[in-house]
């Protein structure tokens, strides 16, 4: 793995462990930072200073297979579930409004920091296509719910086969209906990631 990594440009590498041979190979590249990942118990609360006070809130967490709900008629395969959780993790750390497209545990495209979910999705699709990625049977994660089925329709036409999103819109059923009519799986997490 270290030999393959040295064939590409990486400034920072993080892993749970490195053997001595790998360390020596990885140190060949000048100014490369090599970090060993440590398991840490993180606080459940986050704090931000605001004018005349402090904002205290629970930290955002990632939905996993234990706290999600399949809302479409179509279930997800194991590989789709892995990709959906993977995409949702990336989505959590992406500026809102965020859309992430992934397949086979690989990021294909992301759209972020847009005032519109539709614009974020179009940005993600454009990025994926610029790199030559096929979106057929890819998955989509959104940090925001869909008050209209517009994003779901666009994603479906691009070949997206499964979607993970918070849900919670009074119009959720419109997006679910589109998924059911077009063989797309949809999962609700009940958790909105909202990074600014």
**At 113, which CATH number?**
3.40.140.20
Judged against a pLDDT cut of 90, whether residue 177 lies above it is answered with yes
Confidence (pTM): 0.75
- For residues 11 and 86, membership in a common domain is answered with no
- For residues 179 and 128, membership in a common domain is answered with yes
pLDDT at 195: 65
Distances (CA, A) of 177 to 14, 29, 136, 165: 42, 53, 21, 15
Nearest to 3 by CA among 20, 34, 26: 26
Residue 49 falls inside a structural domain: no
Give pLDDT tens digits for 86-95.
Answer: 999 998 888 8
> pLDDT grade, residue 8 (50/70/90)?
confident
Judged against a pLDDT cut of 90, whether residue 29 lies above it is answered with no
Give pLDDT tens digits for 114-134.
Answer: 889 999 999 999 999 999 999
Place of tokens 């809302």: 71
- For residues 23 and 98, membership in a common domain is answered with no
- Residue 20's domain comprises 2-36
Answer yes or no: are the C-beta atoms of 163 and 184 closer than 8 Å: yes
Residue 124 falls inside a structural domain: yes
What gap in Å lies between CA 25 and CA 173, rounded to an integer? 54
Residue 112 falls inside a structural domain: yes
Q: How many domains does the chain have?
A: 2
Nearest to 71 by CA among 186, 189, 191, 192: 186
Residue 166 falls inside a structural domain: yes
């Amino acid at each position: 793995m270290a030999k393959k990594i040295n064939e590409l440009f990486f400034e920072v590498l993080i892993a749970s462990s490195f053997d001595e041979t790998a360390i020596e190979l990885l140190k060949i590249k000048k100014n490369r930072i090599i970090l060993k990942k440590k398991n840490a118990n993180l606080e459940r609360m986050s704090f931000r200073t605001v004018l005349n006070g402090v904002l205290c809130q629970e930290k955002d967490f990632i939905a996993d297979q234990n706290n999600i709900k399949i809302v479409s008629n179509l279930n997800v395969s194991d590989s789709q579930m892995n990709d959906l959780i993977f995409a949702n993790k990336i989505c959590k750390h992406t500026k809102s409004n965020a859309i992430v497209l992934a397949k086979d545990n690989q990021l294909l495209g992301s759209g972020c920091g847009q005032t519109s979910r539709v614009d974020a999705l179009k940005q993600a699709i454009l990025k994926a296509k610029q790199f030559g990625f096929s979106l057929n049977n890819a998955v989509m994660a959104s940090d925001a719910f869909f008050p209209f089925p517009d994003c779901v329709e666009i994603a479906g036409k691009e070949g997206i086969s499964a979607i993970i999103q918070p849900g919670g819109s009074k119009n959720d059923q419109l997006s679910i209906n589109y998924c059911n009519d077009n063989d797309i799986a949809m999962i609700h997490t009940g958790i909105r990631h909202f990074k600014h």
